[in-house]
Amino acid sequence: MVIDTLIDVKHLKTYLGQHWVHRDISFSITSGEIVAIVGGSGSGKSTILREILGLLKPASGTIYLFGEQLHHMPMQIYHKIQQRCGILFQEGALFSSLNVLENIAFPLRQFTTLNPDSIAEIALLKLALVGLSPDTAVKYPAELSGGMQKRAALARALALDPEVLFLDEPSSGLDPVSAAEQDELLLQLQGTLRLTIVMVTHDLSTLATIVNRIIFIGEGKVIADGTYNELKANRHPEVHAFFHNTRAEIATT
């Protein structure tokens, strides 16, 4: 059975730190899309991601993942769904007590019964995919630069060949060259693995080049939902300001 709607968020309301972060958020994401959730600082973009990942429970509203309602499905099904999702956290969130290879191998060790050699092989492949040299395999996260940590974390997110990849600020802390390479890699993976990518980002060049669809969050609601060009033409003051400022003009010309 093919489920086309991978993620369905309905009437999400969130109350955090004495105020309503989300008043009414609804959107759905279909298989194969590269979607960016965009909005100003404090608009609750990352919060939505945390809610979809089940790290935070919304005040009300429902979230469906692969057709199953979050918080209402049996644990076993939830674990299966978790294995179909790869997550890249903003700071990488690599386990500091494991070296890079062990970090990437960790999900493989947990969820597959492959022998150590096969696991190492797959982990090294992911390492090569994200553009890290084999020397980094035996290094610990603390020995790596921020950008390298991020790449290693992306490799870990890709370890189980997930169907959906969640990225929180994927290009923050990367130099423009690495950021462009990462965009290229994401596009390649999306094409070859039919990956669905959901990201929270501010990076206008990422938005302009690889993202199919942008969901703009503001005032606790979805203000705009469409392609880059549609949003660029949007007349809402917040959306307009996001796409028409000096930085935006420079970045996309």
Partner 1 sequence: MPGTYLSIGEDKTTLCCHGEWTLWHLIAIKNALIDSEIPTKINKIDGSKITKMDSAGALVLQQFLYTLQQHQHQPLKLMAFEEAQLALLKLVTRPDQQWREIPRIARPNFLARLGLSTINYTVGFLNYLNFIGELTMIFLQLLRHPKRIPWRACVSVIESTGVMALPIIALLSFLIGVVLTYQMGLQLRNYGANIYIVDFLGISILREFAPLITAIIIAGRSGSAFTAQLGTMKIRQEIDALQTMGIAPAELLILPKIAALFFVLPLLTVWASLFGIFGGMVVSNSMLHVSYTDFLDRFYTAVSVKSYITGMIKAPVFGLIIASIGCYQGMQVTGSATSVGERTTISVVQSIFFIIVADALFSILFSTLKI
Contact region with partner 1 (CB under 8 A), list: 16-24, 129-137, 224-232, 242-250: 129-137
How many residues bind partner 1 (CB under 8 A)? The answer is: 33
Could you tell me the strand order of the sheet in which 196-200 lies?
68-69, 60-65, 5-16, 19-30, 221-226, 213-218, 34-39, 196-200, 164-168, 85-88
Cβ nearer to partner 1, comparing 26 with 90: 90
1 binds partner 1 (CB under 8 A): no
* Residues numbered 135-164 forming contacts with partner 1, rule: CB under 8 A: 135, 137-138, 140-143, 158, 160-161
Smallest distance, Å, CB 68 to partner 1? 19
Number of Cβ atoms within 10 Å of the Cβ of 62 = 15
DSSP lists the bridge partners of residue 36 as: 199, 214
* Residues numbered 169-188 forming contacts with partner 1, rule: CB under 8 A: 188
Smallest distance, Å, CB 152 to partner 1? 14
Distance separating alpha carbons of residues 115 and 108, to the nearest angstrom: 10
To the nearest 10 degrees (0 to 180), the angle between helices 146-157 and 176-193 is 10
- Half-sphere CA count of 245, side-chain side, radius 13 A: 9
Smallest distance, Å, CB 43 to partner 1? 25
82 binds partner 1 (CB under 8 A): no
Smallest distance, Å, CB 187 to partner 1? 11
Residue 120: strand, helix, or coil = helix
Cβ nearer to partner 1, comparing 63 with 157: 157
Residue from the set 30, 46, 106, 124 that interacts with partner 1 by CB under 8 A = 124
Burial 103-127 (b: 16+ CB within 10 A, else e): bbbbbbeeeeeeeeeebbebbbebb
91 binds partner 1 (CB under 8 A): no
* Residues numbered 194-233 forming contacts with partner 1, rule: CB under 8 A: 194
Q: Cα–Cα–Cα angle for 90, 197, 83, nearest 5°?
A: 80
Cβ nearer to partner 1, comparing 132 with 214: 132
Each as own residue / partner, the long-range contacts of residues 26-29 (CB below 8 Å, 24 or more positions apart, any chain) are 26/222, 27/215, 27/222, 27/225, 29/5, 29/196, 29/198
Smallest distance, Å, CB 251 to partner 1? 28
Smallest distance, Å, CB 59 to partner 1? 30
Cβ nearer to partner 1, comparing 164 with 217: 164
Nearest-Å Rg of the Cα atoms of the chain is: 18
Site residues for partner 1 per CB under 8 A: 96-97, 101, 108, 112-114, 118, 120-122, 124-129, 134-135, 137-138, 140-143, 158, 160-161, 188, 191-194
